[in-house]
Amino acid sequence: MIVKLKVNGETRSADVPPETTLLKLLREHLNLTGAKLGCDVGDCGTCTVIVDGESVNSCLMLAGRASGREVTTIEGLASSEQLHPLQEKFEELGALQCGFCGPGMIISAKALLDKNPEPTVFEVKDALSGNLCRCTGYTKIIEAILDAGRIMSTAEAKS
Amino acid sequence: MATKTKEVLESKVKDSEIEDLTAPDSLKVPAKPALKPVVVPVDKPVVYPLDLPESEIRLRTPAVGQRASRPDGRLHGLGQTQYIDDMTFPHMIFAKILRSEHAHAKILSIDTSEAEAMPGVLATLTGSEIPVNSFGPTLQDQPVLANEIVRHAGDGVAAVAALTEQQASDALTKIKVKYKPLPTVFDPLEAIKDDAPKVHAPRSNIYASKIIKKGDVEKALKESDQVFHKQFKTQMVEHVPLEPHSSVAMWDANGRVTIYSSLGRITLGRDDLARTLGKPMNKIRLVGTIVGGNFGGKNEITTEPILAMLSKKTGRPVKGTFTRGDEFISSTTRHPFVMDYTTGVKKDGQILGRKIRLVLDGGSYCSWTSTTLGKGGILAAGPYNIANLLVEAHAVYTNKTTTGAMRGFGAPQVCFAYESHMDDMAHALGIDPLEMRLRNAFTEGSVSPTGQLLQSVAIKESLQQAAERFGWKESAK
Amino acid sequence: MKKRGRGIACMWYPIGFTVAANPSAATVKINTDGTATLLTGTVETGQGALTVLGQIAAETLGIATDDVHVVSADTDATPMDTGAIASRTTYVTGNAIIKAAEQAREILFEAAAPMLSVKPEQLEAHDRKIQVIGFPQQYKTIGEVAHHSEIVIGRPAIGSGSYNPPTVEMDPETGQGKPFSTYVYATQIADVEVDDETGEVEVLRIVAIHDCGTPINPMLVEGQIQGGISMGIGFALQEEILFKDGKQVNPNLTNYIMPTSLDMPELEVDMVDNYDPTGPFGAKGAGEPTAVPTAAAIMNAIYDAVGVRITSLPATSEKVLSAILEQKAA
């Protein structure tokens, strides 16, 4: 089955067995290993990507269902000039430890901040509730997201 | 020019000597059509900045005390950190492991023939093929793949290597194992009894014990104004590292095996591999990466010898990654503790003597139990000056998931007990819980339960500072 | 009705293995521009070990964190290390690194001494310079000295060392001995709200004050405390592997409940001001102690709130409610 979709702004296609998940398509066929396989059943959130503006557990979505749609993965956030404010703040505040939950966390945060750049602490916690982290206790992750949000809304206001 | 060469160059070949070199029609190659320009698909690389200024904090001296950002922090945020499962090698295949559903059984036979005939399957492996089929940091009582007896539901019994993970998983269902169930024991308080079914027959289920004895605890209890007793219990929990265990094994023509692994201890990992594979250490290369969470569960080998053997059999790199289910049933867990505390105190809250009995659910194999027993036993009395002490700790085999190293090695369990116990006593004596602790806590030079003179002690400082920051006095009811 | 309670718990925890040898070895190579490479057999398991170990090497050499590149976890290329376990990395591997870095630094001092017309013992490494103790305006940059040592004199600045904590065997009958070289201490205080109609416990706030000796990187220690507390909350209130006839009932993340972002309380974490002379620059460790006192603090807070003593973990809402009802009936 040929799946053709836009990933990080670029049209990509692959010929995959019909039972292939979007996660496996990204990791094994498109060489985008940022999204992780933590449980494969939608419990841990390490596979989170954005599909048509909504954050999604890519292990629960069949690749075929993503055909023709726009997917954003962690690999699509930085430019050749700079990191995304989330990536900048996560690094500066030491928000990630082992990093395995990182791509999923940052993507969930991006999906939130793109819609709501000045969330409350509760709104951030709620947006992250599907992303498990065992190392950090979520504390610095939440601080980094709030900081990144401030940068993004200031940039938004300026432009 | 040499004479002979000149002669040859100047000689003329007679016409009749030249063979007709024109190709016959049947061999003529038709003229090629004009070439169309070929469109080569361009796979755009992932974009990221290459020239970011380095963090100012990382450039400061002195280095100690700086809130320096981690170099892997940037790579984590970009999704560029290479965990084992992100790695691929040419011609790499995948292994999966069949696990016992029985908690205790004799293996009568293992038939892998049907699995071997499944599409994509390149090899299978059973424990009898592993040169030394046992490992363990203290007791080597755990098989790499069980081939005689399974001792918990989750014990690995056979492995398959196939072209895809799905094919390997499918082939597992075709492996036929015949079991003869054996009597089981699950409760450590049952397993400790003499007549309980033996998990590692003929050995006793009590496989490790520790005693700490100081002063005269019975006398101290008799002299106490009040004696308190309670039993506390904790549950089995799992590390849940977000990254499942994963390794890749491959060989070279010099008989060297290279293994990339999520192990947290590669020196010991190499020792274990040398032992199980029967190879000298310099023929083994073990490479760790940034592990996606350990917490104690990635401190001993799991699939590495299996992958090495499958790689040897198939001549290809073999990757094996635990499913999340494997993580729960087959990697190690935290020891459930049953803790009996008896403490004698004076009216003013000073502890005179303490008696503790710990029974650890030691699971099906030893793993890091001896260490947990030792640490748990030493820490069990708490950070308090107790001149008269008796701690008896035992680890008991049960037919459940292997209990091993997990963040704290017994400390969270005993702390739950001794601090709950402390509050019980404080309330009964009408003393503020903070005060009760300050009256008994270690200071610099205090003597530990094992007779050690303690230095760099900061327990009272942590109590006082925490109380101040919290507003302990202000929030009193 | 929701009832508020506060609970305190303190703990002690050792650094390193119980009595048994658990050495670490390290190699430090100084490049001819004064930057350096550290080779360590330890594995980065997320706690930030490589960053901290790099800082320790940098401090010994008088250079910045970013000047040290850390290479780890390859049995072909890095020296042995007992591993990232038992909260030993900062202390044991850190001490090994200081020895290795000092050995490399000594080669620099021996090269710099004639350049500065002093004896090697008169020199110190500070702010990327090799300078005279007490007269710092007399110095050469570390790059100049490293270059001179390797390229001119022919002595590359490389050093290696190992460390094992000193212990004393425990007596088999009495357990008396010195099983660890050093310990850390901590207190956590929990502020909880218990719903006495459902048994649900909500942790509102935790104050955690931890001793780790000198915090080599305070940001990373905070991360360890916050992460440890989240594990402690799971241990206290949620997590449990359930068995039926020896088979796990919930071997998945749907039914094995562990803390999400919504379960995290307000956290105030800090370190006690302490210095352990046996540790690298006074440091001890932080990895495991952070997960130790949380459950006890929460259980004591539950008692303060509703007067019930939970004696088995986890304190699920069913257990807490059942204890409350039992107490009301009594």
**pTM confidence score:** 0.94
Are A98 and A133 in a shared domain? yes
Chain B to chain C Cβ contacts (< 8 Å): 390
Q: What angle do CA B465, B468, B472 make, to 5 degrees?
A: 125
Q: Which residues of B touch C82 (CB under 8 A)?
A: 265, 267-268
Say what angle helices B433-440 and B459-470 make with each other, to 10 degrees. Answer: 160
Contact at CB, C261 and A141, closer than 8 angstroms: yes
Q: Please report, for the domain that includes residue A7, its CATH number.
A: 3.10.20.30
Helix/strand/coil for A152: helix
**Could you read off the pLDDT of B421-462 as tens digits, one per residue?**
999 999 999 999 999 999 999 999 999 999 999 999 999 999
Q: Which residues of B touch C76 (CB under 8 A)?
A: 285, 287
Which of A74, A86, A135 has its CB closest to that of B293? A135
Backbone φ and ψ for A103, nearest 5 degrees, come out as -55, -45
Q: What is the pLDDT of residue C253?
A: 97
If one looks up domain C19-163 in CATH, what number appears? 3.30.365.10
Topology at the third CATH level for domain C2-14+180-329: Aldehyde Oxidoreductase; domain 4 (3.30.365)
Cα(B130)–Cα(A51) distance, integer angstroms = 47
10 Å CB burial of residue C78 (0-12, 13-18, 19+) is: buried
Q: What is the pLDDT of residue A158?
A: 75
Q: What are the residue ranges spanned by the domains of chain C?
A: 2-14+180-329, 19-163
Say what angle helices B411-429 and C294-306 make with each other, to 10 degrees. Answer: 30
Measured between CB atoms, does A41 come within 8 Å of chain C?
yes
Q: Which residues of B touch C275 (CB under 8 A)?
A: 456
Which of C12, C74, C251 has its CB closest to that of B287? C74
| Domain termination site, one of A76, A106, A125 | A76
Chains that touch A (3 or more CB pairs under 8 A): B, C
Is pLDDT above 80 for B7? Answer: no
Contact at CB, B409 and C216, closer than 8 angstroms: no
Please tell me the least confidently modeled range out of A93-102, B15-24, B331-340, C40-49. Answer: B15-24
Q: What angle do CA B16, B21, B24 make, to 5 degrees?
A: 125
Contact at CB, A46 and B241, closer than 8 angstroms: no
- Average pLDDT score over residue span B273-277: 97
**Percent above pLDDT 90 for chain A:** 96
- How many angstroms separate the Cα of B154 from the Cα of each of A140, B76, B185, B330, C44? 36, 33, 16, 5, 28
| Domain termination site, one of A59, A76, A93 | A76
**Could you read off the pLDDT of B294-319 as tens digits, one per residue?**
999 999 999 999 999 999 999 999 99
Q: Which residue of A has its CA nearest to C262?
A: A125
Cα(B323)–Cα(C253) distance, integer angstroms = 12
Is pLDDT above 80 for C155? Answer: yes
ipTM of the complex: 0.97
Q: Which residues of B touch C207 (CB under 8 A)?
A: 466, 469-470
In sequence order, the 6+-apart residues with CB closer than 8 A to the CB of B33 are none
Q: Which residue of A has its CA nearest to C265?
A: A139
Contact at CB, B232 and C312, closer than 8 angstroms: yes
Q: Which residue of C has its CA nearest to A44?
A: C253
Is pLDDT above 70 for B174? Answer: yes
Is pLDDT above 70 for B6? Answer: no
Q: How far is A27 from chain B (nearest CA, A)?
A: 8
Contact at CB, C296 and B70, closer than 8 angstroms: no
In sequence order, the 6+-apart residues with CB closer than 8 A to the CB of B49 are A78, A79, A80, A81, A82, A83
Are A54 and A101 in a shared domain? no
Q: Which residues of C touch A134 (CB under 8 A)?
A: 227, 230-231, 258
- Among C255, C261, C288, pick the best mutation site for testing chain A contact (most A Cβ within 10 A): C261
Centre a 10 Å sphere on the Cβ of residue C53 and count the other Cβ atoms it contains: 27
Which element (helix H / strand E) includes B250?
strand B246-251
Q: What are the residue ranges spanned by the domains of chain B?
A: 188-238+333-470
Tally of structural domains, chain A? 2
Are A19 and A45 in a shared domain? yes
Cα(B108)–Cα(B125) distance, integer angstroms = 16
Contact at CB, B324 and A34, closer than 8 angstroms: no
Contact at CB, A125 and C258, closer than 8 angstroms: no
Q: Which residue of B has its CA nearest to A94?
A: B69
Which element (helix H / strand E) includes B423?
helix B411-429
Contact at CB, A43 and C252, closer than 8 angstroms: yes
Sheet holding B206-214, edge to edge: B206-214, B388-396, B351-361, B337-345, B226-233
Q: What is the pLDDT of residue B61?
A: 93
Which of B152, B416, B472 has its CB closest to that of C246? B152
Q: How far is B120 from chain C (nearest CA, A)?
A: 28
Q: How far is B247 from chain C (nearest CA, A)?
A: 14
Contact at CB, C313 and B154, closer than 8 angstroms: no
Q: What angle do CA B336, C311, B204 make, to 5 degrees?
A: 30
- Average pLDDT score over residue span C190-208: 98
Q: What is the pLDDT of residue B448?
A: 98
Measured between CB atoms, does B343 come within 8 Å of chain C?
no
Active site residues of C: 288
Range of the domain at A65: 2-76
Given a contact cutoff of 8 angstroms between Cβ atoms, the answer to whether B304 and B247 are in contact is: yes
Read off the pLDDT band of A155 (50, 70, 90): confident
Is pLDDT above 90 for B34? Answer: no
Q: How far is A84 from chain B (nearest CA, A)?
A: 9
| Domain termination site, one of A29, A58, A76 | A76
Q: Which residue of B has its CA nearest to C239?
A: B237
- Average pLDDT score over residue span A107-134: 97
**Could you read off the pLDDT of C99-147 as tens digits, one per residue?**
999 999 999 999 999 999 999 999 999 999 999 999 999 999 999 999 9
Q: Which residues of C touch B186 (CB under 8 A)?
A: 243, 245-246
Contact at CB, A33 and B79, closer than 8 angstroms: yes
In CATH terms, B188-238+333-470 corresponds, of 3.30.365.10, 3.30.1490.100, 3.50.50.60, 3.30.530.20, to 3.30.365.10
Given a contact cutoff of 8 angstroms between Cβ atoms, the answer to whether B141 and B199 are in contact is: no
Given a contact cutoff of 8 angstroms between Cβ atoms, the answer to whether C313 and C231 are in contact is: no
Contact at CB, A43 and B324, closer than 8 angstroms: yes
Q: Please report, for the domain that includes residue A113, its CATH number.
A: 1.10.150.120
Cα(A47)–Cα(A60) distance, integer angstroms = 9
Q: Which residues of A touch B70 (CB under 8 A)?
A: 91, 94
Contact at CB, B63 and C56, closer than 8 angstroms: yes
Q: What is the pLDDT of residue B106?
A: 98
Measured between CB atoms, does B255 come within 8 Å of chain C?
no
**Could you read off the pLDDT of C299-323 as tens digits, one per residue?**
999 999 999 999 999 999 999 999 9
- Average pLDDT score over residue span B240-246: 97
Helix/strand/coil for B363: coil
The mean predicted confidence, pLDDT, of chain B is 93
Q: Which residues of A touch B86 (CB under 8 A)?
A: 27, 33
Q: How far is A93 from chain C (nearest CA, A)?
A: 8
Q: How far is B176 from chain A (nearest CA, A)?
A: 27
Given a contact cutoff of 8 angstroms between Cβ atoms, the answer to whether B266 and B366 are in contact is: no
- Average pLDDT score over residue span B355-362: 97
Q: Which residue of A has its CA nearest to B245?
A: A38
Are A61 and A101 in a shared domain? no
Measured between CB atoms, does B12 come within 8 Å of chain A?
no
Backbone φ and ψ for C169, nearest 5 degrees, come out as -50, 140
